[in-house]
Amino acid sequence: MTAVWSPPAPPPTEALPASEVGARILTAAAGLFYAEGIRAVSADRVIAAAEVSKVTFYRHFGTKDDLVVAYLRVIAAAERAAVDRGRAEHPDDPLRVLALYADSVDAQSCRPGFRGCAFINAAAEYADPQHPVRAVVAEHRAWLTGTAVELLTQAGSPDPEQAALELVLLRDGAMVAGYAGSPDAGSALRRAGRAVLHAHGVALPA
């Protein structure tokens, strides 16, 4: 049975296909890709799940790779929107924004059907670093690290680049641990994250 798929937050409207049929194809594909793996799901499986014809499918997505790229871009847009919302609500509290992100990772790992980070999963399935899918993965991870650097700089870290790298590595580990069945991945992420912040000169609230 395919796991129910949903991004970590509602994606911006502009990230979705303009047509209702395109959105239905993408939603059907996303559920299958996330639950079963991208390579394991054929275009025909997606066509059947979306209840469209082959002609309709290829009118909206020229290739399966185009569909995979769209799938990842929607997840990326949703994650960015969630972080942007947190930054807008807490413009002077970067540590609160980081905590909200950790909470999001924890909440995702508790969902039924959780299979880890969609971007890590996609990178594992596409070995060629020049492939368009890997380009989307690289773009999103650059945003993730860059956003952490900005927040850590705002928080007063004298070494925000190294601290950001370590926090992203912790995030990746928590995602993998959550998928592997660890019930404490979220709380471990918070504890380890506080240790990284402390080690890199960020003053933490009591």
Q: Which two tokens stand for residue 8?
A: 């970590």
Helix spans in 19-63 (H): 20-36, 43-50, 54-60
19-48 per-position pLDDT tens digit: 999 999 999 999 999 999 999 999 999 999
pTM listed for this prediction: 0.91
189-198 per-position pLDDT tens digit: 999 999 999 9
Domains of the chain (ranges plus CATH)? 1-63 (no CATH), 90-199 (1.10.357.10)
Question: Percent of the chain having pLDDT more than 70?
Answer: 95
Question: Cα(206)–Cα(204) distance, rounded to whole angstroms?
Answer: 6
- Burial class (CB within 10 angstroms; exposed 0-12, middle 13-18, buried 19+) of 60: buried
42-69 per-position pLDDT tens digit: 999 999 999 999 999 999 999 999 999 9
Question: Cα(138)–Cα(157) distance, rounded to whole angstroms?
Answer: 25
Question: Cα(29)–Cα(64) distance, rounded to whole angstroms?
Answer: 10
Res 4 pLDDT > 50? no
Nearest to 25 by CA among 10, 4, 9, 45: 45
**86, 96 in Cβ contact below 8 A?**
yes
pLDDT bracket for residue 16 (50, 70, 90): confident
Res 12 pLDDT > 80? no
Mean pLDDT of 156-168: 97
Q: Which two tokens stand for residue 182?
A: 């660890």
Mean pLDDT of 140-168: 97
